[in-house]
Chain A
Amino acid sequence: VTNLQPRTILIVDDEEDIRAVLQACLEAAGFHVRTASSGIDALERIRSDPPDLIVHDIMLPDITGLDVCALVKRDRRLRRIPFILLTARSQPQDRLTGAALGADAYLNKPFNPDELLAKVRRLLAGCEMTDGRV
């Protein structure tokens, strides 16, 4: 609440349309947004300049969102970054796998923008509390 610096969110999706609308949505809510269109690209960006939160599509042409999530959550330096998985698939197995890998939230496409914003805000607030304790 007291943050003066806007929080940075990384959006990863291979669909340019999705990236564009998500970006507009999150920017309208006051976040700073960066985007990536592939898993490899996303991993590079997360490692070089860690964002405050990641919104990551699962189905990507190169490596999946689940792969990226697993790598991030195994990385001591990055594991505290909230990770939201986006998927166009509705199989519950993805959600379970995502939870097992340490994903913090899960969103089915299509989703309500307010729902996304609520999850993003809740996860960022949780991080601040954790930060406060550590």
Chain B
Amino acid sequence: MDRGRMKILLVEDNPGDARLIQIHLAEAGMASSVLTHTDRLAEGISCLRETDFDVVLLDLSLPDASGLETVTRMHQAAATRPIVVLTGLNDGAVAREALRKGAQDYLIKGQIDSVLLVRAIHYAIERKQAETALRESEERYRDLFENATDLIQSVGPDGKYIFTNRRWRETLGYSEDEVARLTMSDVLAPECHDHCRQLFAGLMQGKQADCAEAVFLAKDGRRVFVEGNLSCSFKDGKPVGTRGFFRDITKRKQAEAALRTVQQRREQLENIVERSPAVAFLWRTDERLTVDFVSSNIGQLGYEPEEFLSGRVRYADIVHHEDRDRAVAEAAKHVAAGASEFVQEYRVLTKSGEIRWVEDHTWVPRDSEGSITHHQGIIVDITERKRAEAEIAQKNDELARLNALKNQLLGMAAHDLRNPLTVVSTASSLLLDDVSRPLSVEQKHDFIRRINANSEFMLKLIDDLLDVAKIESGRLDLEPATGELCSLIEENLTMNRMLAEKKRIQLDFACERGLPPFRFDRGKIEQVLNNLISNALKFSEPGTAVMVRVSRVNDSVVVSVCDQGQGIPTNELDRLFTPFSKTTVRGTAGEKSTGLGLAICRKIVEGHGGRIWAESELGKGSTFSFSLPVAVDESQASDIMSPKRPDGNHASRGPSVARGRGHCLTGVSRRKERG
């Protein structure tokens, strides 16, 4: 702006005053300035719209406006133009008021001279420029302040808000008027009152707070998490107000909380998995079955998850080598068939090399295109189940065997009872029918004798069958007690000697001296002795001899019963000790055999931990022997109490210690039957 050539608008209805202004301007060397004169406010305002005046000289008393209203209207129409008010002598108070309504200066008519006029014009222009600059500057700062993304606040020492920015108010939902009525503690969440009070006290003493966190309560009760820097401004050493710049970190806090929840949930789930017997796996679909995750309860197999994750241990390596190919092929078959899950059983090796059975449930998630993304699965240790299954299978086998044996025994019994029953029934019929078909006394006596003998045989058969059934089902029930074997044999011989004498058979006994007493079941061993001795008598011809010997062989006592019968074919020796295996040989006096006696003997002897066997030479005789252990320690004693499982047609041909003894007697050869 050229100070000498300014554009000046003069709004003055008094022509004299207007003229005077022109004169003052000329005097001041401002003749080249353009002075536009108008005597109405409305006209002046319209001039301002057309021309960019540097300054407005405004009389307050105009025909269309007067007083302060004149200034107000002019200022509204041209806020950026400097205004110098021209007033009358008595209007000093109005003139000062005009300054507050937008005028920059005033001149009192009658006191105006050229110097004063020019100075007022210049002053008004300068002041307007300064005001404009200040306003613009303030607007810039206000704009920054109001539009800052931070929440900005200032709180006075009394806790009341001095100012807040728009973001602050928008975030917390308060209007400016409402903020004016708030105190700091209204906005802070209860849980941070104490902390913030301490912080505030610190600020009042000149401390600063960086990255302080707080929770604000919005007007609607929302909790707003903030983080920011705080300090306090002082004037003359006294605190004026705090400056606080906060960022809204609610979303971050919520995300953190959500993450914490997820982590907690993950920890809970991991805890559950850890306590579960199932080991969880995530495998990649590569050939190595790379493990991406394994739950730490893999420890039950002795491994650390890290060993799998690092690839030091490959999953395929822990699968038992005999099961590996099968398991891989089976899995591939399931996957190829489009299965989404499948179950397998195979063995794995623990880190210490122990073999465990596992059940593997694998799921095969596929993406939208049907490609397999990975394998996920659990493996459960089923070793105990497998063991139980094997046990059950073994028990089933045992039951099936016992059942088959029972059926066999029943069949045999049915068969072997039919012959004696035929004798009893036919002979008794004949006796009853004595009237139509008279019988001699000898015949009657013969029939009665046959009925009696066959009845006794049936009784014996039933007893033996019950014995066999009991023994085969594992209930041998031995009652061992320390006893003396030779005296038992003596007692038995006394009984059998009557039968021997009847058949004119010599019965001899030789017992080695100094045999120690040992533990055996007296009743059961007597059963064995009686069976062997009565068998020998049964198959011996009159005039021959039967010899019973007892001797010590190593840790056993061996009892042998030798006869001079016809002997037994070698191919039949093996079958002697199995149930119902009668031989072709017959009792010399027509004695019958149940075919069970030797089978029972074998069970009893084996139950004692001993052996039973037979040797024979056709035409010379047979020797039946059994051994009983004398040195019985605790472990063998318990063994004695649990009879061994029968192993089919096992041939008890005797231990080598007693073999080769040959026949203690030689004798005549006759046909006979063993059983």
Contact = CB atoms under 8 A, between A and B. Distances in A.
Interface of A: 15-18, 20-22, 24-25, 28-29, 59, 61-62, 88-90, 108-114
Contacts of B437: 28-29
B430 A17 contact: no
A18 B430 contact: no
B423 A17 contact: yes
A111 B447 CA distance: 17
Contacts of B433: 28, 113
A17 B430 CA distance: 14
Interface string B270-299: 000000000000000000000000000000
B136 interface: no
B464 interface: no
B14 interface: no
B426 A88 contact: no
Contacts of A108: 418
B415 A88 contact: yes
B584 A20 contact: no
A25 B415 contact: no
A41 B446 CA distance: 25
B584 A88 contact: no
Interface string B410-431: 0000111011111111110110
A108 B433 CA distance: 22
B430 A88 contact: no
A41 B653 CA distance: 34
Interface string B162-190: 00000000000000000000000000000
A25 B419 contact: no
B16 interface: no
B454 interface: yes
Contacts of A21: 422-423, 426-427, 430, 447, 450
A15 B582 CA distance: 14
A89 B450 contact: no
Contacts of B453: 17
30 contacts: A15-B423, A17-B419, A17-B420, A17-B450, A17-B453, A17-B454, A18-B419, A20-B446, A20-B450, A21-B426, A21-B450, A22-B426, A24-B427, A24-B447, A25-B429, A28-B433, A28-B439, A62-B584, A88-B422, A89-B415, A108-B418, A109-B421, A110-B421, A110-B422, A110-B426, A111-B426, A113-B426, A113-B429, A113-B430, A113-B433
B340 interface: no
Contact of B422 (A61, A89, A90, A111): A111
Given A16-B590, A24-B430, A28-B433, 12 more contacts: A15-B419, A17-B423, A17-B450, A21-B447, A21-B450, A28-B430, A108-B418, A110-B422, A110-B426, A113-B426, A113-B429, A113-B433
B636 interface: no
Contacts of A28: 430, 433, 437, 439
B66 interface: no
The list of the 7 closest CB pairs from A to B, nearest first, reads A88-B418, A28-B437, A110-B422, A109-B418, A21-B426, A110-B421, A109-B422
B254 interface: no
A89 B425 CA distance: 17
A28 B418 CA distance: 23
Of A17, A29, A88, A109, chain B has the most CB atoms within 10 Å of the CB of: A17
B443 interface: yes
Contacts of B415: 59, 88-89
Contacts of B421: 109-110
A61 B429 contact: no
A56 B419 CA distance: 13
Secondary structure type dominating chain B contacts: helix
Contacts of B450: 17, 20-21
A109 B584 contact: no
Nearest to B437: A28
Contact of A18 (B422, B439, B447): B422
Nearest to B582: A61
Of B422, B425, B437, B590, chain A has the most CB atoms within 10 Å of the CB of: B422
Interface string B436-458: 01010001001100100110000
B445 to A, nearest CB: 12
Contacts of A22: 426
Of A24, A62, A108, A112, chain B has the most CB atoms within 10 Å of the CB of: A24
Nearest to B446: A20
A109 B454 CA distance: 14
A26 B454 CA distance: 21
B441 to A, nearest CB: 14
Given A21-B447, A21-B450, A110 B584 contact: no
Contacts of B584: 61-62
A29 B426 CA distance: 13
Contacts of B424: 110
A15 B429 CA distance: 19
Nearest to B416: A88
Contacts of A111: 422, 425-426
Contacts of B429: 25, 112-114
A23 B590 CA distance: 17
B563 to A, nearest CB: 20
Nearest to A20: B450
Nearest to B436: A28
Contacts of A112: 425, 429
A16 B419 CA distance: 10
Given A88-B415, A88-B416, A24 B422 contact: no
A56 B423 CA distance: 15
B157 to A, nearest CB: 119
Contacts of A88: 415-416, 418-419, 422
Contact of B443 (A24, A61, A110): A24
Contacts of B439: 24, 28
Interface string B585-605: 000001000000000000000
B181 to A, nearest CB: 113
A18 B414 contact: no
A111 B421 CA distance: 9
Nearest to B414: A90
A59 to B, nearest CB: 8
Nearest to A90: B414
A21 B421 CA distance: 12
Nearest to B417: A88
Given A17-B450, A17-B454, A89-B415, A110 B430 contact: no
Given A17-B453, A20-B446, A21-B430, A110 B590 contact: no
A59 B582 CA distance: 12
A89 B433 CA distance: 28
Contacts of A18: 419, 422-423
B443 A109 contact: no
Nearest to B421: A110
Contacts of A113: 426, 429-430, 433
Of B426, B433, B439, B453, chain A has the most CB atoms within 10 Å of the CB of: B426
Nearest to A29: B437
A120 B454 CA distance: 26
A18 B447 CA distance: 11
A28 B425 CA distance: 16
Contacts of B418: 88-89, 108-110
Interface in B115-129: none
Nearest to A24: B430
